[in-house]
Structures are given as structure tokens and as C-alpha cells.
Amino acid sequence: MPGLPAKRNVLLVDWRNKLTAGLVNLAVWMAGYFPLNAWQSRSEHYFHIPLTPLDALPLIPWTILVYSSSVFNNALGLFLMPDRRAAWRYLGALLCSYMINFLVFFLLPTTNISLRGEAADALPEMSGIWRSLFELTHNADGPYNCLPSLHITNCVVVALAHWRSPWRYWMLGWGVLIAISTLTTKQHFFYDIPSGIAVAVCGTLIARWIWGAPLDPRPGKGSDQSPAVG
């Protein structure tokens, strides 16, 4: 209608702030995860995660694509935030969750060497693309830092951040698929999943206590509970 302002693509709203928040997220993740992974590789004692029937799920090679999509889930969760205020609060929830993850990785070393062996034994029988993706994953990420699953932590933080947005069911469904893929790629044990969920919930609650939820209405906005845009 004439006179109404043009509606902007939410992905482009405050994109510089979102990109900056994403780079901070990446830097903190890399600075915490990989040194701890290398440190665990030198450990002589690991906490052994109890097995469940779900840990016997078969290896399904193509699900490595779903597993690898976690990075896009995280990035899209950020860029679908309605404005820079929401984006930085989203980052706060991620960073609070990461700090809990890193503390557990340090205090409770775990390994998935046994699962990694199952996947490695199946590599010669995989088609080229799946074998390449598994080899890339195995080379980049040592078989440590299993519990709690950082993949699950990321997905749950995204789902919680978007719980009041139009994308909540998409993010929740995507997170469920990634959770299943952690088992069918033999990257995680079952208990890594609920522990990752618990970390995400705790990190999100801490961040909301400090800064507020990403999609909280602005002060003085009244009873309208829709997200603030722009």
C-alpha cells in the first residue's frame, strides 16, 4: 500500500552486527574447543560414558551431511534475529553455554575412540563423497570432548532463542535431526545428547538473567509480545 515503509529481509537487518557477533562466536568456540581437544588427547584417564540401546544404532553414512549442518543452523539462527539487540543477546546465550561446555570438557575428559573406530572400519565401503566427509570430520575434530555434545548445545540454544519466532518449529525439527545424526555418524554417545540439552538450557537461563531473552519486547512496548524488528 502507498505510504507504508518497505519491509526489509530480516537476514539483512543489522547484518554487520550479526556478522560481528558470528565472528566472535566462531573465535570463542575455536579458542576453547580445539585446545581442550588437544589437551584431552594427552590424558591417560577418561570418564567412560554408559552405553544405552540407542548407541547400537547403525552407522548411516549420508547423515554426516545432517551432522555437518550444525554450523549453518547456528549461523542462520543468528541472522534470523530481528535486530542487533537480539543478535547480541543470542550470542550471550551461546557464550554462556560454551563456558559450561568447556568447563565440563576440562573437568570430565571423555572420548569416543570406540565409536570412531566403528566409523573408520566402514570407510572403505563408503562412496567417495561420504568417505571424504567422514575423513574431513575425523581429521579436523579429535575423538574427545564427547560429553556434553557441543552440536546439541548449539542446536538447543538456537531453538530456545527462536521459541517465540515464526521459525521455532523449523529450528526445533532441524535440531532433532542433528541429534539423531550424532548417533548415526558415531560421533557421540546417547548421554552426550541430554547433557548437551542441559548445558544449553542453563546457559540460556544465565544469559537471560544477565541480558534478557533475544526476542523479549522492548521496555515500554506494552502488552504486544511480538519480536521487536529494526
Q: What is the pLDDT of residues 70-94, one digit of tens each?
A: 999 999 999 999 999 999 999 999 9
Q: d(Cα 119, Cα 131) in Å, to the nearest integer? A: 10
Q: What is the pLDDT of residue 43?
A: 82
Q: Rg of the Cα trace of the chain?
A: 19
Q: Do residues 52 and 122 touch, judged by C-beta distance below 8 A?
A: no
Q: d(Cα 85, Cα 206) in Å, to the nearest integer? A: 17
Q: Do residues 209 and 94 touch, judged by C-beta distance below 8 A?
A: no
Q: What is the pLDDT of residue 156?
A: 97
Q: d(Cα 61, Cα 65) in Å, to the nearest integer? A: 9
pLDDT tens digits along 110-130:
998 888 888 888 888 888 888
DSSP state of 106: H
The grid coordinates of residue 44 equal 591417560
Q: What percent of the chain has pLDDT over 70?
A: 91
Domain locations in the chain as residue ranges: 15-40+58-210
Tell whether pTM > 0.85: yes
Q: What is the pLDDT of residue 100?
A: 97
pLDDT tens digits along 16-35:
999 999 999 999 999 999 99
Confidence of residue 225 (pLDDT cuts 50, 70, 90): very low
In this predicted structure, which of 34-48, 61-75, 88-102, 194-208 has the lowest mean pLDDT? Answer: 34-48
φ/ψ region of 51 (left if φ > 0, alpha if ψ in -120 to 50, else beta) reads beta
Q: Do residues 187 and 137 touch, judged by C-beta distance below 8 A?
A: yes
